[in-house]
Amino acid sequence: MATMAAPGARDLRVVQRRAMWALASREMRRVLGLWTQTLLPSVLTGVVFLAVFGGALGPRLDVAGIDYVRFILPGLLVMTVTGQAFANSSTSLFQAKNEGYIEDVLTSPMRPWQLLVAYMCGGLLRGWLAALALWLVAWPFAGGVEQPALTVLALVLTGLIFGALGVITGMWADTFDQHAFIANVLITPLALVGGVFYTATRLQQPWQALTHVDPIYYLVGATRHGYTGVQETSTGAALIVAAVVAAAVFALAVRLLDRGWRLKA
């Protein structure tokens, strides 16, 4: 057996790229292997929301001139991507840290941004697959997509923001309670008050103003614009803000991983 010699700079990049894809494949395999825990519940939740709000209330409601099922579906897609991308990244990293096997990747030659991308891959796959499944179930009732590129772009940005936030939360949490706290007290309420089920123009103050400071509101607005053609906020501004937020959260997560924040002694 020959031992490994120090590689050149180009070889090192190949090594690091392979390492990143190995960890990303491990993360994605975990999502697919545990699909009854990672994918099914969120799809069922979305379907129940559609059935209860769309089926029961829908016939009596007409929001922004469109059918209520069609109105809420884009928000449910955002809510699904938000929750699942966040939950997967945070849970996977938290488990690796809590059970100690994160040492295996922390001692590897991967760069911090590669670690982040690899951990986010599982969350992105989970969020987007769950949203795709929900859309396929709802499509016969909610109709087709007006602007697919805009819809996909908004959902991509949603996944990037909340996947990176999940990684930061996984690093921060020392206990499962702390980990669950962020999901239950921050992410879920933000998603629910982000205009998924209503239009902010119908709200009284201060609720309207509060809705406008919820970042998910803009992601829902952009996705709804893409899906239905109905525009409540400036979609261009929403996408720019979302891209800036995604870049900022990504940069923060890289910085924290580089420092080994709450991962290294």
Partner 1 sequence: MNELERQSAALRVEGLDKVYADGTRGLRGLSLDIPAGSFFGLLGPNGSGKSTLIGMVSGLVRAPAGHIWVFGCDAVAQAAHARLQVGVAPQDVHLDRFLTTREVLTYHGRYFGMGQLEAGQRADELLEVFDLTAKGGAKPNRLSGGMRRRLLIARALVHRPRLLVLDEPTAGVDLALRRELWAYLRRLHTHEDTTVLLTTHYLEEAEELCERVAFIRDGQLLAEGTVEDLVARYGGDDLEDAYVQAMR
251 binds partner 1 (CB under 8 A): no
35 binds partner 1 (CB under 8 A): no
Instruction: Report the residue from 60, 99, 140, 204 that binds partner 1 according to the rule CB under 8 A.
Output: 99
236 binds partner 1 (CB under 8 A): no
Closest residue by Cα to residue 85 from 36, 28, 45, 135: 28
Instruction: Report the residue from 108, 147, 233, 234 that binds partner 1 according to the rule CB under 8 A.
Output: 108
2 binds partner 1 (CB under 8 A): yes
The pair of three-digit structure tokens given for residue 253, joined into one six-digit string: 């997560």
Q: Is the dihedral of CA 166, 232, 74, 152 positive or negative?
A: negative
113 binds partner 1 (CB under 8 A): no
- Kindly tell me which of 9 and 149 has the beta carbon lying closer to partner 1: 9
Q: State how far the Cα of 19 lies from the Cα of 230, in Å rounded to an integer.
A: 44
Check if the beta carbon of residue 129 is closer than 8 Å to that of residue 39: yes
Residue count of the chain, please give it.
265
164 binds partner 1 (CB under 8 A): no
Closest residue by Cα to residue 102 from 170, 43, 31: 170
Which residues 67-96 are close enough to bind partner 1 by CB under 8 A? 96
Closest residue by Cα to residue 142 from 217, 67, 81: 67
How many Cα atoms are found within 13 Å in the side-chain-facing hemisphere of 136? 8
149 binds partner 1 (CB under 8 A): no
# binding residues, partner 1 (CB under 8 A): 36
Q: State how far the Cα of 103 lies from the Cα of 59, in Å rounded to an integer.
A: 55
10 binds partner 1 (CB under 8 A): no
Q: What angle do CA 221, 38, 259 make, to 5 degrees?
A: 80
CB of 22 to partner 1, least distance (A): 3
CB of 111 to partner 1, least distance (A): 7
Residue type for position 175 = T
62 binds partner 1 (CB under 8 A): no
The pair of three-digit structure tokens given for residue 237, joined into one six-digit string: 């501004």
12 binds partner 1 (CB under 8 A): yes
- Kindly tell me which of 102 and 138 has the beta carbon lying closer to partner 1: 102
CB of 156 to partner 1, least distance (A): 27
172 binds partner 1 (CB under 8 A): no
Instruction: Report the residue from 10, 28, 33, 201 that binds partner 1 according to the rule CB under 8 A.
Output: 33
Q: What are phi and psi of 108, to 5 degrees?
A: -80, 170
Based on DSSP, count helices (H) and strands (E) in the chain, helices before strands.
Answer: 12, 2
110 binds partner 1 (CB under 8 A): yes
18 binds partner 1 (CB under 8 A): yes
Q: Which residues bind partner 1 (CB under 8 A)?
A: 1-7, 12, 14-16, 18-19, 21-23, 26, 30, 33, 96, 99-101, 103-111, 259-260, 264-265
